[in-house]
Structure 1
């Protein structure tokens, strides 16, 4: 039985799997509100310049995690099935926390970005990219997504192409929403952002369960093949 309804061997299928998961965990809508609050004393030009640099940095981090994370774990002897189970658990637990306590997640992000209020040197990478925008949770989700790659053959390339396009789309959303953070603040406000955070967290929870199920299926198939 196939637990994964998305054909990850295609570009579109990989994109439809990766984009909601990455968008949910990064949550550029909610993050843009904190970005605006933390950098309220900066000029609009400075915020736009930082938004572009953060988006580029986030893209590189997500691509590195997607393209290399799974292979690095496999190098250390972690099977693809085990990687999927672990990755699915990480995504599901992370999503559950976001779903139940979005305020706590916002507080952690605000604390991560707070040094930007004091420092005058380059803050685009630390703390505004790492860990504020794409922290350990985002990297873990990207590695979990990489575990969904096909076992081999010519289908691996379409999978990574679709996942890379999803990372690019998330980076573009970071750039656009951070750049327009003042308008996002005026449109949604804090309560509106929390409602959206809960919606995307539920979607992320479903994706985590899907990855976990595919990992259990893979482990069960390997176990039965050895019998």
Structure 2
């Protein structure tokens, strides 16, 4: 796979699991009482923090796996199962319980730090995103590809920033129904990514065990 194809694959995969379009509905509901300037300031802080969290786990993920003695393929299988659960929620247009529950959204209405929780973590950078970036970084040995993964993370959250800053205009143009359609399509792609994670992880574990025998 050449660099452009790998960057495209990494960017699309991370963008699908972050799914900022789906997050717009929650973001609008949490910032409905804010002025335009307050909403934009909160969006910038939330997306910046989410990006930092994703980069942190991308860079330190291998160290964490070594610390806990976890093989990257074991995480790939577990992550694939988690992503498939999230994908099912997306295809049925439900708020994914992997990211945030309806009760947590309701309780967050009156808090001043909603840009930290629940927007940055876990709405944008939840367990699914963290698992994905760790698996990607752990699956590559080339520093060039690792750089492309970091670049894809930065591009994903740059797009997130644009989407959140334009959230009310996007909502006015495509409406709630349009967002549900987009979420279902992203759910289908995420399910395919989850299947790839699980099958690749199982095959790699099987190959490693066969070689050891």
TM-score (norm 1): 0.82
Partner of 1:146: 137
Partner of 1:80: 72
> Which residue, 121, 138, 142 being the options, matches 1:130?
121
> Which residue, 174, 193, 198 being the options, matches 1:188?
174
Distance 1:81 1:41, change over 3 A: closer
1:41, 1:56 → 2: CA distance?
A: 22
* Corresponding position: 1:179 with 2:179: no
1:159, 1:71 → 2: CA distance?
A: 18
> Which residue, 27, 30, 37 being the options, matches 1:45?
37
**How many residues end up aligned between the 2 structures?**
212
> Which residue, 218, 222, 225 being the options, matches 2:204?
218
Say whether the 8 Å CA contact 1:21–1:204 is kept in structure 2. yes
Cα deviation 1:87-141 (Å, max 9, x = unaligned):
2222223222322x2224399465444444312x343212321223322333233
Say whether the 8 Å CA contact 2:76–2:198 is kept in structure 1. yes
Q: Secondary structure at the match of 1:105?
A: coil
What are structure 2's unaligned runs of at least 5 residues?
none
Say whether the 8 Å CA contact 2:87–2:187 is kept in structure 1. yes
Say whether the 8 Å CA contact 2:75–2:131 is kept in structure 1. no
Say whether the 8 Å CA contact 1:112–1:131 is kept in structure 2. no
What are structure 1's unaligned runs of at least 5 residues?
1-6
> Which residue, 69, 81, 98 being the options, matches 1:89?
81
